[in-house]
Structure 1
Amino acid sequence: MAPTLRTVVRRLPLKLGVLTGQDELDRPVRWVAVSELEDPTPFLEGGELVLTTGMRLDAGNAGPYVDRLVGKGVTGLGFGVGLGHEVIPAGLVEAATRAGLPLIEVPRDTPFVAIGKLVSDLIAAEQYDEIRRAFATQGRLTRAALRPEGPRAVVDGLARELGGWAALLDEAGAVRHAAGEGAARTADLLPELERLRRPAGGGAPASLALSTPQEHVIVQPLGARRVRGFFAVGLDRPFTPVAHTVVNAAGSLLTLAVEHGREHLAAERRVRSAVLRLLLAGQVRAARETLELLGDGLPGGPLVVLAAGGDQEAVLEAAGDEFAVAAEDRVVVVVAADRVEDTVSTLREHGPVGIGSPVGLDGLRAGLDQADRALASARRAAEPVMRFADLAGQGLLSLLDPGMTAAFSSALLAPLHEYGSRADLLESLRAYLACNGHWDAAAQRLGVHRHTLRYRMRRVADLLGRDLDDPAARAELWVALAVTE
């Protein structure tokens, strides 16, 4: 921030006097310009303290001269007396009074260069102070980032330090945390986020600055290699260079937190996968000890294994604090029996869920197998939830893989299908098995003599190479025939 005109004129060694514009002394002085031109404005940017001895000023051009300076936006006019003019011309004083332009009298023994050096020193001091404040702010934000709630603390600190609002957004643009009016202000940013996700030319994502007369907003993507979220900050005034520095520092801290969080999460998931393998291998004690190193544990009492389909990232997030592991094409979730309904109601929003029966820690392998079978059935039936207990009540065939069972049936019964047009062999076998091998009952069902049925069964046994008196062979044949139905 530049020094004000009031600060400059109060410096006693300069002995400056204010003739007009006493109410405008809080204007910033961005530089000092010495000029004897009748129109110096082509060489000005605005915000300068213009110094002149009035060599080209007279009563006729004082008014237009002041109007040009005011139109350019100069901060004030310093007039050196004792050279071209012993006193400041009355016409210049009147024009400055009328225009509200601060008019400063510079005595003969105060060189213009002394004023220039003073302003330069003040600007340098202000810049140093801004840099110092920026470093102090970065330090406070860094300490905030080290807290357990790191990213949220950074967002809160950023809004507080800059006196505006700030918001942390996920990859989709949903607000994860907001400070000030951040939650309400981010809705209009969603269309702009797409530009940051897919920068022109496929380069690295850059920040975005939006300005209106009422608000100035900066949006930055978070992530080292790809966009993993965004943060936005807004002020009711333009961002100063120091504010930009602070915003960039906050962006770096948030990116570091996001990337570190993902690496930590990935490592934790690998440990959980190892714990699941230990549990399935029956090494419960080792599994518990490993989880304790993470500050975690397994629920007590009866457990239920869930197998959840759908997007694994979404399912893992929906599982919350439950023990969940992404494995192959599903997520395995182990929950206490009394937590099943609440957990399933959350998981089913992301894909089908298979539910095993309650088991102990030593029965997790059986519980997982049940959950997997229930999930497979849910996928085939396009059902959101399937329980193994309900599945088991539907008969043995519902537990078998349809594709594998069909292939087994086709291969086993192929000799009977290939035996000319003797479909009566299949029907005879079906009746024989349905009657548990009782010849008279089976023959009566078919409407044939029992000797005819005996002949057919001998032919079936020869074609299949199976002993029909063997219970295992009968079971296989029953499954094969049931599949053909």
Structure 2
Amino acid sequence: MPPTLAAVAALPQLGLRVLTGPRVPDTPVVWVAVSELEDPTPFLEGGELVLTTGMRLTPAGAARYVDRLVGRGVAGLGFAVGVIHAEVPPELLAAARDRGLVLLEVPRPTPFIAVGKAVSRMLAAEWYEDVTRAFGAQRELTRAALAGPGPLVARLARLLDGWALLLDPSGAVRHAEPAAARDRAGALAADLARLRGPNARPADGALASVALSVPGENIVLQRVGLSGRPRGFLAVGTEAPLPHVAHTIVGAAVALLTLQSEAPRTGRETRAALGALLLGLPPAGPAVPRGPVRVLACAGPVLDALDSDPSGERCLAVPLPGPGRRTAVIVPDDLTDAVTSLLAPPPPASAPPASAPPVSAPPASTAPTSTAPTSSPPAVTGPVGVSDPVTMATARGGELETALQQAEEARSAARRHGRPVLRYADLPGQGLLGLLDPGAARGFATGLLAPLRAEGLVETLRAYVAANGQGEAAARALGVHRHTLRARMRKAAELLDRDPDDPAVRAELWIALAVASSEDDRIGHPGASRSGPPEIA
């Protein structure tokens, strides 16, 4: 609302004096107009505070002058004294009192520009308050919209201090706030028919609306939806006519409801693709990536990372059960490098190359190191495993399931070796370990190593196998004397009933140690154990 005449008259810095009565009405002042014309009304719109020195005012013309101002609907008249007239002419004062025009005396020290600036500042403050209120209301409506259309309608009614109805295309009530407002729906039927008509939608695409005024109530009715057929209607009612800021708030609510109503249409392709997969049919449609795809296994804030880049729009992310916030991401093959860089940025240039160690050289005895990305947004937690490509045109659930298993195996291996990204195709040892059944292999490894585990000799055997049976190198890796190592290995050979110096036996022990070192149900391919090759003199 613009500032009132009473608020302007009360500004102490202006020194204005009310001459027409003790009480100044709360008439809005939309602007300040300075004019010395006998008839300034052709240049006024109504609602102005007119300022004059009375340069052309005569006693005989005072009444006609006041009549013209009142007829135009000005907010009030300010008369400057000490310039042309020493005081306000009595004829002007009498006419103003007779016709109900507020007359203010402007003292000589107060220039008209000071009055104009004061009103301008008040208007700017009011405008800023409206903008701030509208912005705050839009935030509240957006927050409410996250919980659905019902909470949004309830919040809108409270913001307007009135009632609100959300109607479906037929006019039936979907949500009402308060509940008693549901009874008003029947009276809106005729106006809903007007909004459904072929001419209800303006050429510029804006939503059409109808404003109604009934005794004691003002109603605004708007369509919801962008298509030719409305997807619903929003009706709001208040005791007083809606100010401009309230119309802005209602428009924000309509926009949010329109987004909610149109969103299910954008998900049709996704639902169709899901239905095809459930029926065992080839998935199709814009929601399904074209051409070959890969499955990525990762953990952490994957969805946030994908949302931060346009390439994420072509990916399908599926949270996986279990600990660690694991997520599988189906990625078009041509975006694999971009998405893996987004989820797990490459290590610094000083880091070792990302290729995994060969089968014949198990990795060094160092703990896995996490690669902390330096770019924004933050990388996911831990490394990323990448499957072999799968063709979506012929893919079935089993093939995608295999791809997921490949991705998780690659991620498990990458985590053990501190790699940010590892592809399944780059895993060493697939020719042998990849042929083993995880359950059977784990049972074999557990049974074979159980006697050594009971005597605390597993790590001794691991170092001996990693050193290819060279006792001196294995002793240095363990930090023990070579005689101590020799005694331990004699004990291990007795418990195993096998000769660790036999290459075939060492190969068998290498496989058992590799299987036992896996952290989950899958066999980690790269490397035979957590111990790498010791330094051999």
Give the shorter-chain TM-score range.
0.5 to 0.7
1:236 aligned residue = 239
2:189 aligned residue = 190
Q: Return the alpha-carbon distance in structure 2 between the equivalents of residues 266 and 194 of structure 1.
A: 32
Distance 1:9 1:205, change over 3 A: closer
2:154 aligned residue = 156
The answer (yes or no) to whether the contact 2:141–2:253 under 8 Å persists in 1 is yes
1:166 maps to amino acid: A
Q: Return the alpha-carbon distance in structure 2 between the equivalents of residues 53 and 29 of structure 1.
A: 20
SS of alignment partner, residue 59 of structure 2: coil
1:208 aligned residue = 209
Further displaced range: 163-172 or 188-197: 188-197
The answer (yes or no) to whether the contact 1:222–1:230 under 8 Å persists in 2 is yes
Distance 1:183 1:265, change over 3 A: farther
Quote the offset at 1:243 in angstroms: 1.4
Q: Return the alpha-carbon distance in structure 1 between the equivalents of residues 130 and 123 of structure 2.
A: 10
SS of alignment partner, residue 20 of structure 1: coil
SS of alignment partner, residue 187 of structure 1: helix
SS of alignment partner, residue 74 of structure 2: coil
SS of alignment partner, residue 77 of structure 1: strand
Distance 1:189 1:277, change over 3 A: farther
Q: Return the alpha-carbon distance in structure 2 between the equivalents of residues 237 and 100 of structure 1.
A: 25
2:117 maps to amino acid: K
Quote the offset at 1:210 in angstroms: 2.3
SS of alignment partner, residue 12 of structure 1: coil
Quote the offset at 1:231 in angstroms: 1.3
1:99 aligned residue = 99
Q: Return the alpha-carbon distance in structure 1 between the equivalents of residues 269 and 132 of structure 2.
A: 38
Quote the offset at 1:42 in angstroms: 2.0
1:272-311 alignment, distance < 5 Å: none
1:158 maps to amino acid: L
Distance 1:69 1:213, change over 3 A: farther
Q: Return the alpha-carbon distance in structure 1 between the equivalents of residues 27 and 254 of structure 2.
A: 33
The answer (yes or no) to whether the contact 2:152–2:253 under 8 Å persists in 1 is yes
Q: Return the alpha-carbon distance in structure 1 between the equivalents of residues 58 and 226 of structure 2.
A: 65
Quote the offset at 1:24 in angstroms: 3.0
Q: Return the alpha-carbon distance in structure 1 between the equivalents of residues 12 and 270 of structure 2.
A: 66
* 1:257 is the counterpart of 2:255: no
Q: Return the alpha-carbon distance in structure 1 between the equivalents of residues 206 and 232 of structure 2.
A: 11
1:200 maps to amino acid: N
Distance 1:211 1:192, change over 3 A: closer
Quote the offset at 1:264 in angstroms: 5.8
SS of alignment partner, residue 237 of structure 2: strand
2:221 maps to amino acid: V
Quote the offset at 1:107 in angstroms: 0.9
The answer (yes or no) to whether the contact 1:197–1:205 under 8 Å persists in 2 is no
Distance 1:205 1:122, change over 3 A: closer
1:23 aligned residue = 23
Distance 1:62 1:190, change over 3 A: same
Quote the offset at 1:267 in angstroms: 5.4
Q: Return the alpha-carbon distance in structure 2 between the equivalents of residues 265 and 189 of structure 1.
A: 32
Quote the offset at 1:109 in angstroms: 1.4
Q: Deviations over 1:297-356 (max 9, x none)?
A: xxxxxxxxxxxxxxxxxxxxxxxxxxxxxxxxxxxxxxxxxxxxxxxxxxxxxxxxxxxx
1:82 maps to amino acid: G
Larger RCO of the pair (alpha carbons < 8 Å, separation 6+)? 2
Q: Deviations over 1:426-472 (max 9, x none)?
A: xxxxxxxxxxxxxxxxxxxxxxxxxxxxxxxxxxxxxxxxxxxxxxx
Q: Return the alpha-carbon distance in structure 2 between the equivalents of residues 259 and 93 of structure 1.
A: 63
Quote the offset at 1:200 in angstroms: 2.2
Quote the offset at 1:224 in angstroms: 3.3
Gaps of 5+ in 2: 282-318, 320-537
Distance 1:35 1:213, change over 3 A: farther
Q: Return the alpha-carbon distance in structure 1 between the equivalents of residues 185 and 18 of structure 2.
A: 48
Q: Return the alpha-carbon distance in structure 2 between the equivalents of residues 275 and 194 of structure 1.
A: 42
Further displaced range: 120-129 or 16-25: 16-25
1:319-338 alignment, distance < 5 Å: none
Further displaced range: 265-274 or 173-182: 265-274
2:290 aligned residue = none
Across the aligned residues of Structure 1 and Structure 2, the Cα RMSD in angstroms comes to 2.9
1:219 alignment partner, one of 197, 221, 224 = 221
SS of alignment partner, residue 171 of structure 1: coil
SS of alignment partner, residue 13 of structure 2: helix
The answer (yes or no) to whether the contact 2:207–2:224 under 8 Å persists in 1 is no
1:199 aligned residue = 198
TM-score, normalised relative to structure 2: 0.48
1:132 aligned residue = 132
Quote the offset at 1:14 in angstroms: 1.3
Q: Return the alpha-carbon distance in structure 2 between the equivalents of residues 81 and 122 of structure 1.
A: 25
Q: Return the alpha-carbon distance in structure 2 between the equivalents of residues 123 and 5 of structure 1.
A: 12
Q: Return the alpha-carbon distance in structure 2 between the equivalents of residues 211 and 219 of structure 1.
A: 8
Decide which structure has greater helix share: 1
SS of alignment partner, residue 67 of structure 1: helix
Distance 1:27 1:3, change over 3 A: same
2:246 maps to amino acid: A
Q: Return the alpha-carbon distance in structure 2 between the equivalents of residues 197 and 105 of structure 1.
A: 56
1:12 aligned residue = 12
2:521 aligned residue = none
Q: Return the alpha-carbon distance in structure 1 between the equivalents of residues 165 and 253 of structure 2.
A: 12
1:390-469 alignment, distance < 5 Å: none
SS of alignment partner, residue 123 of structure 1: helix
The answer (yes or no) to whether the contact 2:145–2:151 under 8 Å persists in 1 is yes
1:111 maps to amino acid: P
1:222 maps to amino acid: V
1:173 alignment partner, one of 151, 171, 174 = 171
Q: Return the alpha-carbon distance in structure 2 between the equivalents of residues 164 and 235 of structure 1.
A: 5
Quote the offset at 1:238 in angstroms: 2.6
Distance 1:34 1:262, change over 3 A: same
The answer (yes or no) to whether the contact 1:22–1:102 under 8 Å persists in 2 is no
Q: Return the alpha-carbon distance in structure 2 between the equivalents of residues 213 and 66 of structure 1.
A: 34
The answer (yes or no) to whether the contact 1:219–1:230 under 8 Å persists in 2 is yes
The answer (yes or no) to whether the contact 1:169–1:175 under 8 Å persists in 2 is yes
Q: Return the alpha-carbon distance in structure 1 between the equivalents of residues 241 and 168 of structure 2.
A: 26
Q: Return the alpha-carbon distance in structure 1 between the equivalents of residues 267 and 174 of structure 2.
A: 19
Quote the offset at 1:271 in angstroms: 5.1
1:122 aligned residue = 122
The answer (yes or no) to whether the contact 2:191–2:210 under 8 Å persists in 1 is no
Quote the offset at 1:120 in angstroms: 1.2
The answer (yes or no) to whether the contact 2:3–2:119 under 8 Å persists in 1 is yes
1:176 maps to amino acid: R
SS of alignment partner, residue 232 of structure 1: strand
Quote the offset at 1:252 in angstroms: 0.9
Distance 1:251 1:95, change over 3 A: same
The answer (yes or no) to whether the contact 1:32–1:48 under 8 Å persists in 2 is yes
Q: Return the alpha-carbon distance in structure 2 between the equivalents of residues 161 and 67 of structure 1.
A: 41
Quote the offset at 1:221 in angstroms: 2.0
Quote the offset at 1:167 in angstroms: 0.6
Identical residues among aligned pairs (%): 52
Q: Return the alpha-carbon distance in structure 2 between the equivalents of residues 146 and 261 of structure 1.
A: 15
1:51 aligned residue = 51
Quote the offset at 1:257 in angstroms: 1.6
